[in-house]
Structure 1
Amino acid sequence: GDIENSSAGTDVAVIGGVIAAVVFVLICLLIVMVRYMYRHKGTYHTNEAKGTEFAESADAALKNDPVLQEAVDESKKEYFI
């Protein structure tokens, strides 16, 4: 009789502790995310090819990009509208 009651009380305490720990971790993550979003508000990074702002057309920008140098073939151009 006494052993079952004490183990049930222990289970409730363990479950309560786990729930409290999870809630605490979630609140901490939320605070960190809000601070990060507030601090980095307005910053905008792109992964565009270098030198595209000086090119007169998209073809020239792609042709001059060293990463895509071998990928662009003049005879196999496709235009999507």
Structure 2
Amino acid sequence: MDSALVGGVIAAVIFVVICLLVVLIRYLYRHKGTYHTNEAKGTEFAENADAALKNDPNFQDAVDESKKEYFI
């Protein structure tokens, strides 16, 4: 009786692990190569960083011409 119970528990654990592996592999396959960036749209053609930030509506009030900082 005990061996049947142990065998059932082992079979259930193996089944759950296999199901989790299938779900994980399917998720990784479907989301392969997708990523999201927070870069502003249209800034890839700007001649420098200042021009790109001037056209970004999120930074219209934050850009002050007298105080520029550059981080390298």
Output the TM-score relative to the length of structure 1: 0.58
Residue 20 of structure 2 corresponds to residue 61 of structure 1: no
Match in the other structure for 1:4: none
Match in the other structure for 2:30: 39
Q: CA RMSD in A?
A: 2.5
Which of structures 1 and 2 has the bigger CA Rg?
1
Residue-by-residue CA offset, 1:28-51 (whole Å, 9 max, x unaligned)? 444323211111212232110111
Distance in structure 1 (CA, Å) of the matches to 2:64 and 2:20: 48
The size of the alignment, in residue pairs, is 64
Residue 33 of structure 2 corresponds to residue 79 of structure 1: no
Distance in structure 2 (CA, Å) of the matches to 1:73 and 1:30: 53
For structure 1, the residue ranges without an aligned partner over 5 or more in a row are: 1-12
Shift of 1:72: 1.1
Residue-by-residue CA offset, 1:10-61 (whole Å, 9 max, x unaligned)? xxx9xxx8xx68x83x654443232111112122321101111121111111
Q: Which secondary structure does the structure 2 equivalent of 1:67 belong to?
A: helix
Output the TM-score relative to the length of structure 2: 0.64
Structure having the larger proportion of residues in helix = 1
Distance in structure 2 (CA, Å) of the matches to 1:29 and 1:76: 54
For structure 2, the residue ranges without an aligned partner over 5 or more in a row are: none
